[in-house]
Amino acid sequence: MTKTRSSGAVQHKSFGLVLQALVVLARKGDTCSSCEMAELLSSEATLLRKTMAKLTRAQILVTKEGRDGGYGLNRDPEELTLAEIYQALEAGEVCSKAGNDPMCGNVPGERMIDACSDIFAEMDRSMMAVLEKYSLADMVRKSGC
């Protein structure tokens, strides 16, 4: 059985994709289907739907069914922080998880987890503090798209 080294890269990739999709929604100001967004972002609609479902559960997005349906923002982009988006994706504490993954399974690994846990937790808090400083509206302005 092969163990993956870290899921952190996948979570960061999903976060980047979702940020792009949310910028599209914020600029459009209306609903947008997953197929339309996937085409704009050169992604797969099924992957996008999977990640957008998490944002819908967190009430960051709303969905509209029907011919003109799709996803729409349920929050003001000025008030929606990147930290909230990141947490909705269940990507929080990536440093802790990524650091622990390759160390598990033996006594030295367990000791390293104990030795590093405070450092990884501090890294997670630092990252969230940075993400709290920025809103979706900031990303719309910065991206210039």
Cβ pair 100, 53 in contact under 8 A: no
Rounded Cα distance between 22 and 100, Å, is: 31
Residue 56 token pair: 């819908």
Alpha helices (H) in the chain, listed in sequence order: 8-28, 34-41, 45-57, 82-88, 94-100, 107-132, 136-143
Distance of CA 88 to the CA centre of its chain: 7
- Residue-wise pLDDT for 86-106, tens only, equals 999 875 445 555 554 555 567
Distances (CA, A) of 107 to 19, 98, 110, 113: 40, 18, 5, 10
pLDDT at position 18, please? Answer: 93
What is the pTM assigned to this prediction? 0.76
Nearest by Cα to 128 from 90, 79, 83: 83
- Fold observed for domain 8-143: Arc Repressor Mutant, subunit A (1.10.10)
Give pLDDT < 50 ranges for the chain.
1-10, 92-93, 100
